[in-house]
Amino acid sequence: MGSPTDNAARLAFDFGTFAEDVVISDIKVEEIFFAVTGIEDLPEQSDVRYYPNPVTSWIYIDNRAGYHGATLLDMNGRALAKYELSVSEHTLNLEGIPRGLYVMVLSGNGSSQRLKILKL
């Protein structure tokens, strides 16, 4: 709070992993922020290699047979960038992406794979 007369209340809810029966009512919400405090491990699906991770500017993706597209998602699921993967091109430029934790979704041939990316 900014001062003793600050009339804005701050509420924090920790629902854990089970929030099915939680009911919140009679609250006026003007602004809401979500803090990501963890991420589940994504299962390894193939031998796709990506490096370096953490990445500062360029990321290299090898052994990506069948994948022709890549989408970079933030932790809220918003797409920040889309890339086309060709047979000859296996580098992606992440220079304009802010620092943070992301998920790179590789897609193609009716399948997809998620990769965890840490941008420095």
Query: Which pTM value belongs to this model?
Result: 0.61
Q: Give 97 or 111, the one with higher predicted confidence.
A: 97
Model confidence at 38, pLDDT cuts 50, 70, 90, reads low
Q: Greater confidence, 62 or 93?
A: 93
Contact 102, 73 (CB under 8 A): yes
Q: What is the mean pLDDT of residues 53-82?
A: 90
Residue 21: helix, strand or coil by DSSP?
coil
At 1 the pLDDT is: 47
More confident residue, 65 or 77: 77
In the numeric block, the tokens 């992301």 are attached to 102
Peptide bond into 52 cis (omega under 30): yes
